[in-house]
């Protein structure tokens, strides 16, 4: 029950040669710009009300019907511990395919707005800074300078791939 035609492979950063360029979909959350591998993007759609799931982690808002399959929606601001924003008519859901131990899954992430598709050179990707144990950076793939701004490349598998597995433990706590 996946989306109509999934891409045959879902490559991740680092698989290709260091000199390769790849396309990244960038989006904004507040003042910050983030990017995800465009090959992981299934669909971009406007915000619509979701159906809540009981015992879900707080950042999992609920589920939506995406052409017949039931897709969980994650609030990226909450996941990244940013200040919450109101959902408006420009709020956007990016549907991504996430690879986790349980296989390929589709997840929707709520972002403030989609900006652009940019080409980035693998060689320009800087490793994420060590910010100490208090700040989790393991879901940051790397940083890329783009026209005086800094683009944060996200490793979505680490960022939300674990959500599905953590459901079991989350409900144990809730109960």
Angstrom distance (rounded) from CA 77 to CA 109: 9
Task: Report H helices in the chain.
Answer: 76-79, 156-174
Cβ-based nearer residue to other proteins, 67 or 149: 67
For residue 135, which phi and psi values (nearest 5 degrees)? -110, 120
Taking residue 18's Cβ as centre, other Cβ atoms within 10 Å add up to: 9
Closest contact distance (angstroms) between CB of 71 and other proteins is: 5
Angstrom distance (rounded) from CA 37 to CA 9: 13
Residue 164 interacts with other proteins (CB under 8 A)? yes
Residue 121 interacts with other proteins (CB under 8 A)? no
DSSP code per residue over 5-27: S--S----TTSS-TT-EEEEEEE
* Residue 37 bridge partners (DSSP): 24
Contact 122, 17 (CB under 8 A): yes
* Residue 140 bridge partners (DSSP): 154
Cβ-based nearer residue to other proteins, 116 or 165: 165
Cβ-based nearer residue to other proteins, 105 or 158: 105
Cβ-based nearer residue to other proteins, 55 or 137: 55
Residue 56 interacts with other proteins (CB under 8 A)? yes
Residue 135 interacts with other proteins (CB under 8 A)? no
Residue 71 interacts with other proteins (CB under 8 A)? yes
Cβ-based nearer residue to other proteins, 71 or 125: 71
- Considering only 64, 76, 94, 152, the residue that binds other proteins (CB under 8 A) is 64
Residue 70 interacts with other proteins (CB under 8 A)? yes
> Residues in the site for other proteins, rule: CB under 8 A?
1-2, 49-56, 60, 62-65, 67-72, 102, 105-107, 163-165, 167-168, 171, 175
């Amino acid at each position: 029950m996946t989306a109509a035609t999934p891409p045959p492979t879902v490559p991740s950063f680092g698989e290709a040669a260091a000199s390769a360029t790849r396309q990244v979909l960038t989006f904004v959350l507040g003042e910050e710009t983030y990017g995800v591998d465009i090959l992981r993007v299934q669909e971009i759609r406007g915000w619509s009300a979701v159906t809540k799931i009981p015992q879900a982690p707080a950042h999992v808002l609920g589920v939506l019907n995406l052409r017949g399959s039931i897709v969980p929606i994650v609030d990226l601001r909450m996941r990244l511990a940013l200040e919450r924003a109101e959902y408006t008519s420009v709020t956007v859901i990016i549907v991504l395919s996430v690879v986790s131990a349980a296989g390929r899954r589709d997840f929707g992430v709520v972002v403030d707005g989609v900006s652009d598709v940019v080409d980035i050179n693998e060689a320009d990707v800087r490793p994420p800074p060590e910010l100490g144990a208090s700040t989790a950076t393991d879901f940051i793939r790397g940083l890329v300078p783009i026209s005086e701004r800094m683009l944060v490349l996200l490793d979505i598998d680490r960022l939300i791939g674990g959500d599905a597995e953590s459901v079991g433990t989350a409900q144990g706590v809730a109960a």
